[in-house]
Amino acid sequence: MEIKELNTSPRVLMGPGPSDMHPRVYKALATPMIGHLDPEFVTIMNEVKTMVQATFKTQNNLTFVVSAPGSAGMETCLVNLLEPGDEALICIHGVFGGRMADIAERCGAKVHKVEQEWGKPIDPQQVKAALENCDPKIVAIVHAETSTGVKQPLEEISKMVHDKGALLVVDAVTSYCGTELEVDKWGIDAIYSGTQKCLSAPPGLSPVSFSDRAVEVLRNRKTKVQSWFLDLSLVMNYWAGAKRAYHHTAPISQVFALREAYRLVLEEGLENRFRRHYETHLLLKEGLEELGFRYLVDEKYRLPMLNSVFLPEGLDEEPLRKLMLEKYNIEVGGGLGAFAGKLWRIGLMGHSCDANHVNMLLSALRKEMK
């Protein structure tokens, strides 16, 4: 079998991630290789850490990038904070809350669940009621549920969690760098994200951060973390130790690319970036509604970067989605879990979030829906 030179189609990425990347990020990705303990790479890691802190809006010292995708960020938070027998309260209003509960169970935790109908946010009163009946070490919740397009308000829940003496763990894979997120101000104790969404860097890395309260919990562990690779007590000597010790070989090229993606975010400014995401979402919404699409989520809780929409009556989602990809090179996402085959998830993330992308999709749809 002859394997030809790699030659992928020029896709326009408007699904739930990955998103398109800026030419400067591609250029950084092609930077010649250096060693992962090279003093120059150590400087780059320090620079990246500073930019993770700035974008998470945190002073947390234990802030770095896990060398694996968002799911590994999720595992990093849970396997380090939970020990067998601990109680954990997991909020589930879509696929990713369910994944957190699965991981927490695998840690040997006694998992309590707060569940909400998909497409709606968790009501703080649900958390309040659940906290009256358990004594969790952590409460975990998804800020931007990519399976539904719901933006979850966090501040009121954060206060309840802390009043109960628990830690708040937040999934910000999709919201990070696309909508308001305040790690310190909102009292988030452990947070993880991904690089392939509103950051528009290559997939495969996960920025994380832990509050001092969370670090205290880590220090007081009685058992070893089950995962060697994700054990923070070991990883940290690599990311933040006074003398960088080998832990694993970092995905160096991806870190180069991530550094450039962060530089782009900070050049634009977080507030401007959030505004761009919101305004582009409004543009898309107007065009989609004219065509007869209908949003799943109530306007108040809609994510700008993840638009979950039902197709107009009589239109089959899969053939039209396939046509968008094959004829127009435009990728949009189908439904996940309970919404598989029922709706589209249209992403407007990072470098994929502008009027050109919206116009490309809308004009292709107008042509095919005539």
Ligand X SMILES: Cc1ncc(COP(=O)(O)O)c(C=O)c1O
Q: What is the DSSP letter of 206?
A: E
Per DSSP, which regions of 93-219 are E strands?
A: 110-115, 138-142, 144-145, 150-151, 167-171, 190-192, 206-210
* Beta-carbon-side half-sphere exposure of residue 35 (alpha carbons within 13 Å): 5
Interface with ligand X (CB under 6 A): 16-17, 69-71, 74, 96, 142, 146, 171, 173-174, 194, 203
SS3 113: strand
Residue 256: CB minimum distance to ligand X, A: 19
Between β-strands 330-334 and 306-310, what pairing exists: parallel, antiparallel or unpaired? unpaired
Place of tokens 């004594």: 135
**Between 178 and 187, CB nearer to ligand X:** 178
**Between 16 and 136, CB nearer to ligand X:** 16
Residue 100: CB minimum distance to ligand X, A: 8
Alpha-carbon distance of 323 to 25, in angstroms, equals 29
Question: In this chain, which residue has its C-beta nearest to ligand X?
Answer: 70
Residue 74: CB minimum distance to ligand X, A: 6
Residue 1: CB minimum distance to ligand X, A: 30
Residue 16: CB minimum distance to ligand X, A: 6
**Between 146 and 352, CB nearer to ligand X:** 146
**Between 77 and 131, CB nearer to ligand X:** 77
**Between 61 and 227, CB nearer to ligand X:** 227
**Sheet of 294-295: strands edge to edge?**
12-14, 330-334, 343-347, 306-310, 294-295
**For the purposes of burial, counting CB atoms within 10 Å of the CB of 159, is it exposed (0-12), middle (13-18) or buried (19 or more)?**
middle
